Structure 1
Amino acid sequence: MVSFEAILFDCDGVLVDSEPITNGVLRESLIEAGWAISPADCERLFIGRAVRDQRALIEQHTGRPWSEEWLQAFYARRNQRLRAELKAIDGVHEAVARLHGSVGGRIACASGADRAKVVMQLEQVDLARWFGDAVFSGHDLPRSKPAPDVYLAAAAHLGVDPKRCLVIEDTAPGAQAGLAAGATVWGFCTQGHGRAFEGLPVARVFHHMRELRL
């Protein structure tokens, strides 16, 4: 059995229950731009991926050229809703404290979202104190998830070989990123049987943060 030296957490859907809020606002923004996208398709196409990375798809379905102004307006609306509604994942405070102790403080948050959003969310739910400066965004790197860049950066910051890292993810693109980095991935799935990870060599699927123990 692998003895993990560091834990690398995704943020949205793992630490904070933000995805229904963010995806709902994104769908509203896409509909206003001319894409009558369904809730299921919006989740399938965007959860776990940077909106910016889907620009060609957005242009195709809205019939409009990509606009940085549109993206910033979406961010502003999203952040307003997050500040009003965001909650931590049930049991995550205890889980993060427990794992922080298990690996001597070597934990990091590695997200595909923009860093300002990640930091805002961690501060809002009182998790920022556990991560300090070990917060990483795929937006700041050459490639975001499902590429491994953000997990490689987090592991390097902690001074740990990615093969000795445990990644906690809730989406297929995120799991692919962790696996491509060479880490062991555990999938967090609050509903169903972990179908999001089908076909991926995820070592374990768990359904509540109380199960997250080394």
Structure 2
Amino acid sequence: MPPFEGVLFDLDGVLVDSEHLAEGVWVRTLAEHGLPIAANEFSHLAVGQTFPNVLVRLQELHGWTATDAFLPVLEERFNQAFHDLPAIQGARETLLALRAAGIPFAVASNSERGRLHLKLRASGLAELVGTHAYDPSWVGGRGKPHPELYVFAAAQLGVDVTRCVVVEDSVPGGTAGVAAGATLFALLAAGHIHPDSSAQMQAIGAARVLRSHRELQEALGVTTSA
């Protein structure tokens, strides 16, 4: 038996390769609405954050506030960008292997609920995840780095969060997992990963730093025939 009873996944950058797409949409739309910002600077302030927190950080760091015209444009571009969203290589096989092993899993994401389910459908993972996809609205809007979302997701699986592995790619998400009492596995397999990500994730308490879903499957002790 594995030394855990459930697996809790972040979505963006862990199961779907969406961060670079979202970053491009943000940078383009911000520039058109009065805030030119470099892609790497935006990524540093935004990765792993909730949508409201990104807006707050933009105001705090750049004195920029979203107008009523900004949000509909951004939303429409997100819908277009995520229409053909790829799953990260091996993600589907990881979920299939967990299901075959009888290990429950859930997705806990800072994405807004509509975008969360859009990404799951577009990537072909919605059927595997089923109803166990949770966003901050399930816990009063308190997204990562607060731990409540992971505690809630574990409870929905019927397992204690301290008996779960959290799979994350960002400091805010990893911080939430550790604060919840879960074991943190850092998965750095997406296109947006920075050179210092490994050190950052180890610094907040990652038990393992992994570079692919194949490595994740081995760390979880599950196998796939794919």
TM-score (ref. length: structure 1) = 0.90
- Percent identity over the alignment is 35
Confirm or deny: 8 A CA contact 2:202 2:209 kept in the other structure: no
Confirm or deny: 8 A CA contact 2:187 2:216 kept in the other structure: no
- Residue 223 (structure 2) aligns with: none
Counterparts in 2 of 1:204 and 1:29: CA distance versus 1, 3 Å? same
Higher alpha-carbon deviation: 14-23 or 193-202: 193-202
Residue aligned with 2:43, SS: helix
Which residue identity lines up with residue 167 of structure 2 in the other structure? I
- Residue 224 (structure 2) aligns with: none
Confirm or deny: 8 A CA contact 1:33 1:62 kept in the other structure: no
In 2, Cα distance between equivalents of 1:30 and 1:15 = 26
Residue aligned with 2:167, SS: strand
Counterparts in 2 of 1:61 and 1:73: CA distance versus 1, 3 Å? farther
In 2, Cα distance between equivalents of 1:101 and 1:199 = 33
Q: Displaced runs of 4+ in structure 1, greater than 4 A? A: 60-64
Confirm or deny: 8 A CA contact 2:166 2:182 kept in the other structure: yes
TM-score (ref. length: structure 2) = 0.86
Residue aligned with 2:83, SS: helix
- Residue 39 (structure 2) aligns with: 39
Higher alpha-carbon deviation: 144-153 or 13-22: 144-153
> In the TM superposition, what whole-angstrom CA distance separates every residue of 1:79-103 from its partner, at most 9, and x where no partner exists?
211114x21101111111112233x
- For residue 68 of structure 1, report the CA deviation from its aligned partner: 5.4
Confirm or deny: 8 A CA contact 2:5 2:103 kept in the other structure: no
Counterparts in 2 of 1:80 and 1:206: CA distance versus 1, 3 Å? same
- Residue 198 (structure 2) aligns with: 194
The number of equivalent residue pairs is 212
Confirm or deny: 8 A CA contact 2:35 2:64 kept in the other structure: no
Show the 5 A alignment for 1:83-102: 83-84=83-84, 86-102=85-101
Gaps of 5+ in 1: none
CA RMSD, Structure 1 to Structure 2 (Å):
2.0
- Residue 211 (structure 2) aligns with: 207
> In the TM superposition, what whole-angstrom CA distance separates every residue of 1:156-187 from its partner, at most 9, and x where no partner exists?
11111110011100111110011111111100
In 1, Cα distance between equivalents of 2:59 and 2:132 = 34
- For residue 32 of structure 1, report the CA deviation from its aligned partner: 1.8
In 1, Cα distance between equivalents of 2:72 and 2:62 = 17
Confirm or deny: 8 A CA contact 1:90 1:209 kept in the other structure: yes
Show the 5 A alignment for 1:1-214: 3-60=3-60, 63-67=63-67, 69-84=69-84, 86-102=85-101, 104-142=102-140, 143-190=142-189, 192=195, 194-213=198-217, 214=220
